[in-house]
């Protein structure tokens, strides 16, 4: 993964985290308002400023959460010392919001430590120093209510002014308040941790998807480079080799081969320009100037023209056109492309037979763009392998034997591709030393991804390949 990609992922990660804290800020403000309404309007300047400071803490915390959360919690403790307990609920609401942020932004050890430290400080100050605390005040209220209810019950029973229980010891009140405060703080921290876990899971999924998309993109670019550029280079190498074979020992054209040299050079020109255009398209995709989908078109629509104009100059390369926008039907595309390739093979001295037939396909099948690209890419790879490995007609058993036989059968449900050719005893001098084998492997993966199968084998000097590709 590149440094640019990592920076982008980290930036998106920061936005998601600040986004959660931003929503937490909205929740904290709402909780602060409810707490303020549940008590009374601040009856002193100190209480008013304390409430506004707590509100400011909720609003400002998302700016620098890791730095401001401890400071804001200290402010909540200070607000508990306002006389009369006017800010006790707003301080508790602010602290609860801050502990959610602690659970989200801090690791487990730091969050638990901060929650315990705050609970100890809050309850200790409330029990022995005289500050206010929701936990301690709540316990005192419950104890007072139970005592008052018991006294009234005893008075109603005629017991009179008998004493009802001894005062609750301070240490017991401290311990009970501490447990209650720890429970509240722990719940808030656990909620924040759960939100953090969800965010981290989404981040991991996004990173994994980013990696999958990148690998898929690189694989598709490898397909484009191999299917178009490498195959064009193979044809160009063979054409140059054949053109050189047409020269005599003095470097001049022989009378027999000179007539076709101009046509061969025209084809070399067209193939080289087509390969160069595809290289530029791949570079544009890598630079982000062109979407990858722009490269996903079949060779029948963007392949080089094999002929020339009447004046002997090469025809310009046709611009790339998406298969899905082609006006001709699928079989016409196949026939046109295979005819062009057969002419190119003939210029190389490879005279073969190719045919496209339709069986039980009424109306004419209209496969998806993915299937079109898969079929046309496989046919292109077959022709490229013929150039690299097929025996020349001169090496065949008789002059009447074709160098290759390629048959494509289109039915209502699938496309069957079959090809047979004799294998040369040694690699051609034009492609000697080059590596092969990746093309069929990539084509097999493409066919398998569509639910089809591709098999290839060499036996007794004969190479056979067969593929079945579902139309849907």
pLDDT at 273: 85
Of 169, 189, 208, at which residue does a domain stop?
Answer: 208
Placement of tokens 């046709």 in the chain? 318
Among 192, 208, 224, identify where a domain stops: 208
| 74 and 214 part of one domain | no
Mark the ranges of the chain whose per-residue pLDDT is less than 70: 1-18, 40-41, 62, 157-166, 227-228, 245-260, 293-328, 361-364, 393-400, 425-437
Report the distance separating Cα 357 and Cα 362, nearest Å.
13
Cβ 426 vs Cβ 375: under 8 Å = no
Distance CA 392, CA 241 (A): 13
Q: Are residues 200 and 216 in the same domain?
A: no
Sheet holding 453-459, edge to edge: 353-358, 404-410, 414-422, 462-470, 453-459
**Cβ 84 vs Cβ 43: under 8 Å:** yes
Reply yes or no: is the peptide bond before residue 413 cis, omega within 30 of 0: no
Is residue 380 within 8 Å of 230, Cβ to Cβ?
no
Quickly list DSSP for 354-401: EEEEE-S-SS-----HHHHHHHHHHHHHHHHHHHHHBPPGGGSSSTTS
The CA-CA-CA angle for residues 202, 449, 203, to 5°, reads 10
- Same structural domain, 320 and 359: yes
Report how many domains make up the chain: 2
Cα–Cα distance measured from residue 381 to residue 341, given in angstroms and rounded to the nearest whole number: 11
Instruction: Clarify whether residues 242 and 110 are in a common domain.
Output: no
Strands (E), 227-382: 353-358
Residue 110 sits in the same domain as residue 235 = no
Question: In whole angstroms, what is the distance from residue 263 CA to residue 252 CA?
Answer: 17
What pLDDT was estimated at residue 44? Answer: 81
Nearest to 264 by CA among 299, 304, 236: 236
Do residues 155 and 235 both lie within one domain? no
Instruction: Tell me the two tokens of residue 434.
Output: 């080059």
pTM for the full predicted model: 0.56
Return the pLDDT at 21: 75
* pLDDT confidence of residue 74: 92
Rounded CA gap, 195 and 296, in Å? Answer: 41
Domain-ending residue, one of 143, 173, 208? 208
pLDDT given for residue 429 in this prediction: 45
Please check whether residues 309 and 214 belong to one and the same domain.
yes
User: Rounded CA gap, 331 and 471, in Å?
Assistant: 13
Indicate whether 123 and 250 sit together in one domain. Answer: no
Same domain (yes/no): 322, 423 = yes
406: containing domain: 209-470
Tell which residue, 132, 110, 124, has the closest CA to residue 189.
110
Taking residue 262's Cβ as centre, other Cβ atoms within 10 Å add up to 14
pLDDT tens profile 68-112: 888 999 999 999 888 877 788 999 999 999 999 999 988 899 999
Query: Residue 463's beta-bridge partner residues?
Result: 421, 458
Q: Which helix (H) or strand (E) holds 462?
A: strand 462-470
| Domain CATH number, residue 337 | 3.30.565.10
Task: Report the pLDDT value the prediction gives residue 282, as an integer from 0 to 100.
Answer: 80
Do 33 and 68 form a contact (C-beta atoms < 8 A)? no
Q: So what's the pLDDT on residue 319?
A: 33
Tell me: do 144 and 238 sit in the same domain: no
186-243 per-position pLDDT tens digit: 999 999 999 999 888 988 998 999 898 888 877 777 777 776 677 778 778 877 877 7
Residues 159 and 213 in one domain: no
- Both 194 and 276 in one domain: the answer is no
Distance CA 224, CA 277 (A): 12
């Amino acid at each position: 993964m590149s440094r640019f990609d990592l920076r982008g992922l980290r930036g998106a990660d920061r936005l998601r985290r600040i986004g959660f804290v931003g929503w937490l800020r909205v929740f904290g403000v709402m909780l602060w308002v409810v707490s303020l309404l549940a008590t009374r309007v601040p009856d002193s300047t100190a209480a008013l400023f304390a409430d506004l400071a707590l509100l400011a803490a909720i609003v400002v915390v998302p700016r620098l959460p890791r730095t401001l959360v401890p400071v804001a919690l200290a402010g909540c403790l200070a607000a508990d010392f306002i006389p009369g307990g006017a800010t006790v609920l707003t301080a508790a609401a602010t602290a609860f919001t801050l502990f959610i942020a602690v659970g989200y932004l801090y690791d487990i050890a730091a969050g638990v430590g901060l929650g315990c430290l705050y609970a100890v400080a809050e309850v200790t100050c409330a029990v022995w120093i005289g500050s206010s605390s929701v936990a301690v005040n709540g316990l005192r209220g419950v104890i007072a209510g139970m005592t008052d209810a018991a006294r009234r019950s005893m008075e109603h029973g005629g017991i009179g002014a008998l004493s009802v229980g001894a005062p609750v010891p301070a240490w017991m009140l401290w311990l009970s308040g501490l447990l209650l405060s720890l429970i509240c703080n722990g719940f808030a921290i656990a909620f924040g941790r759960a939100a953090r876990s969800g965010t981290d899971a989404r981040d991991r999924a996004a990173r994994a998807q980013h990696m999958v998309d990148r690998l898929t993109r690189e694989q598709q670019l490898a397909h484009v480079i191999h299917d178009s550029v490498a195959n064009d280079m193979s044809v160009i190498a063979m054409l140059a080799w054949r053109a050189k074979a047409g020269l005599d020992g003095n470097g001049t054209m022989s009378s027999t081969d000179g007539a076709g040299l101009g046509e061969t050079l025209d084809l070399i020109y067209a193939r080289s320009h087509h390969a160069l255009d595809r290289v530029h398209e791949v570079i544009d995709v890598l630079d982000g100037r062109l979407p990858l989908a722009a490269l996903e078109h079949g060779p029948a629509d963007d392949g080089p023209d094999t002929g020339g104009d009447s004046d002997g100059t090469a025809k310009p390369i046709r611009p790339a056109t998406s298969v899905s926008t082609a006006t001709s039907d699928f079989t016409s595309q196949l026939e046109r492309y295979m005819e062009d390739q057969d002419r190119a093979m003939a210029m190389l001295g490879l005279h073969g037979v190719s045919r496209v037939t339709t069986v039980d396909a009424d109306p004419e099948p209209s496969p998806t763009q993915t299937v079109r690209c898969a079929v046309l890419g496989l046919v292109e790879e077959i022709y490229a392998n013929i150039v690299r490995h097929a025996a020349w007609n001169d090496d065949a058993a008789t002059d009447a034997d074709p160098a290759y036989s390629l048959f494509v059968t289109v039915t209502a449900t699938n496309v069957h591709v079959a090809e047979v050719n004799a294998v040369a005893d040694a690699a051609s001098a034009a492609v000697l030393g080059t590596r092969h084998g990746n093309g069929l492997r990539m084509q097999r993966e493409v066919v398998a991804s569509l639910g089809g199968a591709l098999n290839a084998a060499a036996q007794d000097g004969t190479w056979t390949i067969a593929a079945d590709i579902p139309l849907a």
